[in-house]
Amino acid sequence: MAGLAVSLGSGAMTNSIAEMEDAEVLIVIGSNTTIAHPVLATFVKQGVVRKGAQLIVIDPRRIPLVDQSAIWLRQRPGTDIALINGLMHTIIKENLADTAFIAERCENFEEMRKVVEGYSPERVEEITGVPAGEIVKAARLYGQAGKAMILYTMGITQHTHGTDNVKSLANLAMLTGNFGRPSTGVNPLRGQNNVQGACDMGGLPNVLPGYQPVIDETVRAKFEALWKAPLDARVGMTLTDAMTAAADGRIKGVFIMGENPVVSDADSHHVMAALKKLDFLVVQDIFLTETAAMADVVLPAACFAEKDGTFSNTERRVQRVRKAVNPPGQALADWQILTALANVMGLDWKYESPQAIFEEIRVATPSYAGITYERLEKETLQWPCPTADHPGTPILHVGRFSRGKGLFAPIEHQEPFELTDEAYPMTLTTGRVLYQYHTRTMTGRCAGVNDMAPVAKMEMNPADSARMQVVDGEFVQVSSRRGHIEVRVEVTESVREGVVFIPFHYAEASANALTVAALDPVAKIPEYKVCAVKVEKRPQPGLHG
Amino acid sequence: MNSLTLNGKNISFEPGQTILEAARTHGVDIPTLCHLQAADHKGVCRICVVEVQGADRLLPACATPAGDGMVVDTHSSKVVQERKMLLELLVANGDHNCLFCEANGDCKLQALVYEYGVKNVARRAGYEQRPIDDATPMILRDFNKCVLCGRCVAACNDVQVNNAIPYPFGRREDKPPVTGWLPVADYDRCVHCGECVQACPVGALLEKKALGKAMTWQTQKVRTTCPYCGVGCQMWLHVKDNQVVKVTGVEDVLPNRGRLCVKGRFGYDFVHAPDRLTTPLIKENGAFREAGWDEALGLVASRFSEIKAAHGPQSLAGFTSARATNEENYLMQKLVRTGFGTNNIDHCARL
Ligand code: SF4
Ligand code: SF4
Ligand code: FES
C-alpha cells in the first residue's frame, strides 16, 4: 500500500474487478488468485477464455492460473524488481513507451530510465532465472496492449523490498500509459474481507480515518473538535514494532480485537514471547484462539452473521453486513463491546447502532461522506464518494493522479534479506490454500471445507525429494534460524528445485515459526515470502502419522 | 426502427436481442429451463419455444434473434401443447417425486409442471436408474432428477472456468446432449465452488450440508457480505430458527454476479460452532473463569488506566481487525486514540 501511495497518491486498487474481463492483457504477479481470491479469478479467466485476453503470470510457483496464461515467467523468489526493470528496459528500447502520457502526467522519468537501462534481458536472466527471450515476449505483449491491468497480492508486498516492488509495478503501468481508463491500472488484491476498511477507518499508526496524517496539525484540530479529545501528535507503533517494544518492556498493555497474531505473524516465537511479557493483554474474538489463550481477559464477540455494519472490499466498494442470527450466549458485537468499554473508561459514547457510527464516519472521512445506509439499500458505491449525489468512483486517477503527477521511482534490484547458505540451503516461501482462511479459526470449524485440506503440507520439487530420499506424505523437519517445525511433504512440480512452499494457516506446523520479522522499511510488512531453511529427514517417519 | 408483434402488440427491440430478451424487456414472460445468461448457454431444452409466423416449426426464444416485422406468439395453443409434451417427457425420464425432494418449492420443473397442468405422468417403462454421486462432503449429485439442461456444465466451464464438468459435445454448440450423457464431475479439477448447484434448476445438484435442514419456504433470506477474502461477494444467508442453513450467491449484482467460492458458499458452520466464546473470561492463577460483562469491562478499564497512569499512554497499544466492520474499526481506533491517548493502533494484515 505504501508504495502505491508514494507513486500515485493513493494506495487503493485503481480499477474494479468486473473490468478484468475486458482487459487485453493482464499481468498477475505474486498472487495465487484462484486460491486467495477465487471469484475475482473467475473474471480473469473469463477474460481469457471468452474474450481473448492474454494473461502473463509472474510467479515462482506453478499456480493454477498458469493453465490460462499466454506466458509464465518463473522468477527466483525475491527478484521481482529486476524482472520488472527488465520488462521496462525492453519496452523503452522497442519504443513501446507511451511518451505522451509520460510527458503529460508523470515526473522523474529520466532518473528511472537511467536505472532501467542497466537491466538488459540477458542480465535480468542471470538475476531472475527467467530466459531473456521470455522477458522480451512479455514486455512486447504488455507494451503493445491498448488496455492492460496489473494484479498483485502478498507475493509482492511481503518482502523487505515490498514497497519498492509495488513502486516498480506503478513504474511499469505509467510507462505504458495504463492508468485512468477502464481495464488498466495497478491493483492490490486485499487478502482479508475488510483490510481495506480497517485502513480506511484509520486502523494505522500514522493516519486518522480517510488517510489523514496524524502529524498534520489541521487534521488533528478537525478530529479533536469532532471527538472532543486531545490527540497525540506523534506517529504510533506498527504491530511489528509494538511487538518488539512489548518484548523489551516499553509496551505493557495491549488490546487485540479479532486477530490471531501468534499464528498469523512472522516469527511467531518472537510474538509469543512479546505477549507473555505484557502486564495486561485483552483479546476480543469469537473463539479462544492461540492468542486469546494468552490473554488476561477474553471478551466474546459476535461474528459477521450476527451484526449489522459495512465492509469495504478490495475495489473500495462499501457494502452492507446484515444481522441474520443472534450471537451465542452473552457474546456482543464488537461495536457494542467497544462502546460499553469506552463508557466505563469515562468517554461518554452514545452510539445506538452501526448506522449512527457510520453517520460519524461520513463526517470524519471525506471519501465516505456521500455514502449512506439508505443509498446502500438501492445502489452499490465505491469510494471516493464525497457527496450524496456522487455516483462513486470505479476508476481512480482519471485525467490526473491523486498526487498530481505520477512519480517514477528509480529502483535497483536488491537481494532478499536472508539468502540461502550452506547451513540453510533452501528457500521457503509461504502462502495460502483454497480451503483454509487465515489461521483457520473459521474454516477449520467448517465440515467439508476443512476436510479438503485438514493438515499442512509442504510442497517440494521431485528433484529435491529424490535427493533427500523422502516420499510424498512423509514427515520432515524444517528449520530456519528462528525455529523449526515438522510437516508432511507433498512432492510436486509446482515449486522449482531448491524452493519449498508452506501454507501459513496451520498452528501445528506454523510456517511463521520459520519466517523472518525483517521489515520492509516503509510499509513495515514482514518478509513472510522468502527465508532460508534446511529440510531434514526425520529418523522415525510417521510418528505423528 | 426495430419492431415486432408480440402476442398482438407492437413492441420495439434493440438489434442483437433475442426474442426472449425483447419479450422480457416488455414484461412478457416466456418460460426457460436451460438458458443461462451469464454463460450465454441456450437452445438445449426447447421449453422456451414460441410460434413465429412464417416459420415452419416452433423456435426457441432464447436462441432466436428478434427480427424486424416478426409476428410472435408466446402462448398459442400449439406452443402450450409443445411445452406440455416436453414437460411430460422430462417427468417420465427421471425420478421426480417432490415429496422426497430437497428442492421442493424451489424447482423450475415443478413450477412449470404446475403452470402447464401436466398430470399423472408415469415413469417411462424401462427407465434405467442413473447413478447418485455422493463422493464429496459438499455436493450431492442425483442424476435421476437431472433434466439434462446443461446449465451446470456452462456454469462450471464458462462462468467459473474450472472445466470440471466436461461438455458432452463441442463447446457450446447449442444442441441437445448425446444419449446416455450425464453431467458428471471430474474431482481432479473440481474446486467445490458450488456454482453448478446454484445453476441447477431442479433438485439434481444439492448442497449436502443443507439436506434436511429446512424446506425452502421455511427459511428467511438475509443479504450480506462474505466474511472471508477481500472480494466481498454478496451472499444470501438462508436462516431457519436462528440457524444459517445454507448460503447462496446474490445473482446479477457486483462484485460477484452470483458467484461464490468454496469458502463463501460452504464455510458457514463456524457461526454455530460449539466452542464459540459465550461469556467474558478472566484469567486467575493461570486458568480462565467465566465472568459477567460488568466485571470484565470494569477490570479491563481499570487495568488499562493503571498502566497509562504509571507508564504513560505510549505503553498501551491496540490492534484492530481486518475482519471487523468499518464501524467497529472506526470505534477501535477512536478508543485507542482518545481513551488510551496514543497512536499505537494497527491491524494484523497489512495487505
Ligand atoms: S445436474 Fe441440474 S444443471 Fe446439470 S444438467 Fe442436470 S438438471 Fe441441468
Ligand atoms: S465467496 Fe470466496 S471469493 Fe467471494 S468473498 Fe468469499 S472468500 Fe472471497
Ligand atoms: S430455455 Fe431456451 S432452449 Fe432451454
Question: What is the bridge-based pairing of β-strands A253-257 and A212-213?
Answer: unpaired
Please list every residue in chain A whose beta carbon sits closer than 8 Å to the beta carbon of residue B272.
328
- Of residues A22 and A499, which shows the higher confidence score? A22
Question: Mean pLDDT over residues B184-205, rounded?
Answer: 95
Do the chains contact at A338 and B270, CB–CB below 8 Å?
no
User: What is the least distance, in Å, from the CA of B28 to any CA of chain A?
Assistant: 25
Angle between helices A162-175 and A80-93 (to 10 degrees): 20
Asked whether residue B223 carries a pLDDT value surpassing 90, the answer given is: yes
Do the chains contact at A325 and B230, CB–CB below 8 Å?
no
Q: Which of B136, B255, B322 sits opposite A315 (nearest CB)?
A: B255
Residue among A16, A165, A257, A322 with most chain B CBs within 10 A, to mutate: A257
Question: Mean pLDDT over residues B96-101, rounded?
Answer: 92
Query: Residue B115: how many CB atoms within 10 A of its CB?
Result: 11
Closest atom of ligand 3 to B61 CA is 2
Residue B272 lies in a domain: no
Across chain B, mean pLDDT equals 93
Domain ranges of chain A: 5-189, 195-382, 426-537
Task: Write phi, then psi, for A164 (nearest 5 degrees).
Answer: -65, -35
Find, in chain B, the residue whose alpha carbon is nearest to that of A220: B337
CATH number at residue B39: 3.10.20.740
Q: What is the ipTM of this complex?
A: 0.92
- Of residues A513 and B76, which shows the higher confidence score? B76
pLDDT band at A540 (very low <50, low <70, confident <90, very high): low
pTM of the model: 0.92
How many angstroms is it from B36 CA to the middle of ligand 3? 9
Domain final residue, candidates B30, B52, B75: B75
How confident is the model over A165-198, as pLDDT tens digits?
889 999 999 999 999 999 999 999 988 889 999 9
Q: Which amino acid would we find at residue B178?
A: V
Paired with B205 in beta bridges are: B141
Lowest mean pLDDT among A257-266, A475-484, B336-345: A257-266
For position B211, what pLDDT does the model report? Answer: 95
Asked whether residue B289 carries a pLDDT value surpassing 80, the answer given is: yes
pLDDT band at A455 (very low <50, low <70, confident <90, very high): confident
Report how far apart, in Å, the C-alpha atoms of A450 and of each of A17, A286, A303, A459, B220 are. Answer: 28, 18, 19, 19, 27
Asked whether residue A159 carries a pLDDT value surpassing 70, the answer given is: no
Domain final residue, candidates B75, B108, B137: B75
Please list every residue in chain B whose beta carbon sits closer than 8 Å to the beta carbon of residue A337.
297
Give Cβ neighbours of residue A296 (< 8 Å, ≥ 6 apart): A280, A281, A282, B282, B283, B303
Q: Does the domain made of A426-537 have the CATH classification 2.40.40.20?
A: yes
Q: Which amino acid would we find at residue A366?
A: P
B312 interfacial to chain A (CB closer than 8 Å): no
Angle between helices A334-344 and B293-311 (to 10 degrees): 60
User: What is the least distance, in Å, from the CA of B228 to any CA of chain A?
Assistant: 5
DSSP conformation letters of A74-132 = -PPTT-HHHHHHHHHHHHHHTT-S-HHHHHHHEE-HHHHHHHHHT--HHHHHHHH---H
Could you please state the CATH topology (level 3) that the domain comprising A195-382 is classified under.
Rossmann fold (3.40.50)
How many angstroms is it from B202 CA to the middle of ligand 1? 7
Asked whether residue A275 carries a pLDDT value surpassing 60, the answer given is: yes
For position A140, what pLDDT does the model report? Answer: 97
Residue B338 lies in a domain: yes
Asked whether residue A273 carries a pLDDT value surpassing 60, the answer given is: yes
Residue B27 lies in a domain: yes
Pocket lining: B146 vs ligand 1, CB cutoff 6 Å: yes
Asked whether residue B168 carries a pLDDT value surpassing 80, the answer given is: no
Residue B254 lies in a domain: no
Lowest mean pLDDT among A155-164, A202-211, B28-37, B81-90: A155-164
Residue B68 lies in a domain: yes
For position A541, what pLDDT does the model report? Answer: 47
pLDDT band at B181 (very low <50, low <70, confident <90, very high): confident
How confident is the model over A125-145, as pLDDT tens digits?
999 999 999 999 999 999 999
pLDDT band at B177 (very low <50, low <70, confident <90, very high): low
Do the chains contact at B317 and A237, CB–CB below 8 Å?
yes
Q: Which amino acid would we find at residue A456?
A: A
Asked whether residue B186 carries a pLDDT value surpassing 70, the answer given is: yes
pLDDT band at A322 (very low <50, low <70, confident <90, very high): very high
Burial class (CB in 10 A: 0-12, 13-18, 19+), A542: exposed
Lowest mean pLDDT among A104-118, A285-299, A527-541: A527-541
What CA–CA distance (Å, rounded) separates B313 from A213? Answer: 19
Give Cβ neighbours of residue A312 (< 8 Å, ≥ 6 apart): A194, A196, A197, A200, A318, A319, A383, B232, B326
Most ligand 3 atoms within 8 A of CB, residue of B36, B47, B58 to mutate: B47
Residue B235 lies in a domain: no
For position B351, what pLDDT does the model report? Answer: 37
How confident is the model over A358-391, as pLDDT tens digits?
999 999 999 999 999 999 999 999 999 999 999 9
Asked whether residue A510 carries a pLDDT value surpassing 80, the answer given is: no
Structural domain count, chain B: 2
Selection from B123, B127, B197 nearest residue B155 by Cα: B197
Question: Mean pLDDT over residues B260-274, rounded?
Answer: 94
Q: CATH for A5-189, among 3.30.930.10, 3.40.228.10, 3.30.70.660, 3.90.79.10?
A: 3.40.228.10
Please list every residue in chain A whose beta carbon sits closer than 8 Å to the beta carbon of residue B347.
195, 198-199, 203-204, 239, 259
For position A529, what pLDDT does the model report? Answer: 65
Residue among A20, A206, A252 with most chain B CBs within 10 A, to mutate: A252
Domain that holds residue B344: 312-351
Selection from B317, B333, B345, B327 nearest residue A227 by Cα: B333
Asked whether residue B187 carries a pLDDT value surpassing 70, the answer given is: yes
Domain final residue, candidates B40, B75, B110: B75
pLDDT band at A66 (very low <50, low <70, confident <90, very high): very high
pLDDT band at A527 (very low <50, low <70, confident <90, very high): low
Nearest ligand (C-alpha, residue B64): 3
